[in-house]
């Protein structure tokens, strides 16, 4: 599973941070570092994969010198890249890979195409509100917890 961690540490404790990170011989085998970013402040971002709670707990050692939190993350890069390139076909492929129904794919693609044509931010916001209202109306007509989630 993919995780994104935020580690806040006072820069005056960099040496303690590195000592704690390097301490010991055994790093869990399923802990795979994807990326680590220093944000030129007291915040660092650590992106990693782990299959076990033990790996997440291993990184908990960072709390001895700062504050470390992490959350499971879903890789949405393809969806964002589709948005930034204004590529509704790519969006449709992204949704198909997630096993989304063709009806929802068509609805979501149409919504994005209309957003592209919005002449300004205010029109786009109104379009988003209109879409939300439509989805809420559709969901209200479906009994129980079977209502589809917006994509």
* CATH class as words, domain 2-72: alpha beta
For 58-72, the pLDDT digits (tens) are 999 999 999 999 999
Report residue 103 CA to chain centroid gap.
25
End-to-end CA distance of the chain: 21
What is the average pLDDT value for the chain, to the nearest integer? 92
Q: Is the pLDDT of residue 92 over 80?
A: yes
Nearest C-alpha neighbor of 17 from the set 40, 41, 44, 37: 44
The residue whose two tokens read 């209502």 is: 147
Calpha distance 13→5 (Å, rounded): 19
Which of 65-69, 84-88, 137-141 is least confident? 137-141
Q: Based on C-alpha coordinates, what's the Rg of the chain?
A: 21
Question: Whole-prediction pTM value?
Answer: 0.73
Helices (H), the chain: 14-22, 53-59, 77-85, 88-97, 102-116, 121-140
Q: How is the chain split into domains, by residue range?
A: 2-72, 77-140
Calpha distance 118→114 (Å, rounded): 6
For 33-57, the pLDDT digits (tens) are 999 999 999 999 999 999 999 999 9
Nearest C-alpha neighbor of 59 from the set 40, 86, 31, 81: 31
């Amino acid at each position: 599973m993919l995780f994104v961690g935020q580690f806040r540490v006072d820069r005056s404790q960099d040496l303690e941070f590195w000592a704690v990170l390097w301490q010991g011989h055994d790093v869990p085998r399923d802990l795979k570092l994807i990326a680590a970013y220093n944000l030129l402040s007291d915040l660092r971002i650590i992106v990693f994969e782990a299959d076990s709670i033990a790996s997440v707990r291993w990184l908990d050692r960072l709390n001895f010198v700062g504050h470390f939190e992490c959350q499971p993350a879903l890789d949405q890069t393809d969806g964002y890249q589709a948005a930034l390139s204004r590529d509704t076909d790519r969006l449709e492929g992204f949704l198909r890979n997630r096993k989304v129904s063709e009806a929802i794919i068509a609805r979501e693609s149409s919504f994005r195409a209309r957003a592209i044509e919005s002449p300004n931010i205010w029109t786009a916001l109104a379009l988003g509100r209109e879409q939300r209202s439509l989805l809420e109306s559709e969901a209200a007509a479906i009994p129980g917890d079977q209502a589809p989630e917006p994509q």
